[in-house]
Amino acid sequence: MQPDPIIEVSGLTKTYGDVRVVDDVSFTVERGEVFGLLGSNGAGKTTTVECLQGLRRADGGTMRLCGLDPLSDGRALGALVGSQLQDSALPDRLRVEEAVRLFATERAAPIATVLDEWGLTAHRRQAFGNLSGGQQQKLFVALALINRPEIVFLDELTQGLDPAARRSVWELIDRLRAGGTTVVLVTHFMDEAEALCDRVAVMRDGRIVGSGRPDELIATFGHAMEMSFTAPGDLDVNCLASLSSVADVSNVAGRLEVRGRSDLVVDVGAALARCAQRPSDITVGQPRLEDVLVPILGGSR
């Protein structure tokens, strides 16, 4: 199937004084995917999506959303884009149903349908300030989607939520993917990006330092597979290290830690099968995105 980019960004640049907050950023987002902008606080993620939405004027580069420029075609694009910004807020006394009515346009589904779809019917008369954190975020997602946009921007959606509320919001994003909505998810939570995103662009100090599927990023910046076990006395460690699937072997307090391609499990397993004393404490696992990216992103300003 041919790629169908709904967002195209080339050479995007934004400077404040002497600081280039967004530095020559380029990426595309395919129609219907969940695309993550991942990076530490201050990496330039929010500024990037604010430029994409026409909220800030870029100093350089080109941007197209649904084939439209966010500045010159802002009015037309407004009907096609929904957003939940990092600093989203509503008046504490505004009731849930009032907020939905306030944001609805002629493109919106019936108010009762929106409330029911997002599990807000029971809270329709509740004031925003009395909602739990998870309920507030659910309302923000409902408002971002109420007018049936083709693209929705979600910026640090789970910031400050407890684990249960966070999982509930993750389920909302899965529903958006299932419904065909294109989602741009801005987050500094690596487990969130790994769990939700089809593809991720990793930002550091205003630049993209890596992009691809989460598993591709893990393989690029780390290793696809890890094994750990107590070394049998008759195991030739040098022979193990020479296997084509093995990238690294280290001895940590008597345990061998082996890293490399996904097929190392077969190769190392065959080597261990030939040992008279076979280890009974073998662990096998795939590194997480966080394991390989923390050393890279730790220096973001």
Co-location of 171 and 261 in the same domain: no
Q: Are residues 192 and 157 in the same domain?
A: yes
pLDDT reported for residue 200? 96
CATH number for the domain harbouring residue 260:
3.30.70.980
Tell me, yes or no, whether 114 lies in a domain.
no
Same domain assignment for residues 24 and 65: yes
- Contact indicator for 28, 9 with CB cutoff of 8 Å: yes
Residues whose CB is less than 8 angstroms from the CB of residue 235 and which lie 6 or more positions away in sequence, other chains included? 256, 271, 272, 275
**Domain closes at, from 176, 201, 219:** 219
290 is a domain residue: no
Residues 12, 74, single domain; the answer is yes
Same domain, 191 and 277: no
* Shared domain check, 251 and 209: no
Whether 214 and 229 share a structural domain: no
- Is 68 inside any structural domain? yes
Residue 288 pLDDT: 87
Of 167, 195, 219, the residue that ends a domain is: 219
Q: Are residues 190 and 64 in the same domain?
A: yes
- Residue 83: the pLDDT is 87
The helix-helix angle for 289-297 and 214-221 (nearest 10°) equals 60
Residue 242: give the domain boundaries. Answer: 225-285
In a domain, 92, yes or no: no
Residue 123 lies in a domain: no
Same-domain pairing of 74 and 159: yes
**Does the residue 254 lie in any domain?**
yes
70-74 long-range contacts (CB < 8 A, ≥24 apart) are none
DSSP, collapsed to helix, strand or coil, labels residue 186 as strand
What pLDDT is stored for residue 105 in this prediction? 86
Nearest to 283 by CA among 260, 263, 264, 257: 257
| The predicted structure's pLDDT at residue 11 | 97
Query: What is the CATH classification number for the domain harbouring 28?
Result: 3.40.50.300
- Does 158 fall in a domain? yes
Same domain, 31 and 59: yes
Mind listing the pLDDT tens digit of every residue in the chain (301 residues)? 456 799 999 999 999 998 999 999 999 999 999 999 999 888 999 999 999 999 999 999 999 999 999 989 988 888 899 888 766 788 999 999 999 999 988 888 899 998 988 889 999 999 999 998 888 888 988 888 888 889 999 988 787 777 887 888 888 888 888 888 999 999 988 899 999 999 999 999 999 999 999 988 988 887 778 999 998 888 888 888 999 999 989 988 889 999 998 889 999 999 999 888 889 899 998 888 888 888 778 644 4
pLDDT at 2: 57
Whether residue 46 lies inside any domain: the answer is yes
Give the pLDDT score at 301.
43
Domain boundary among 204, 219, 234: 219
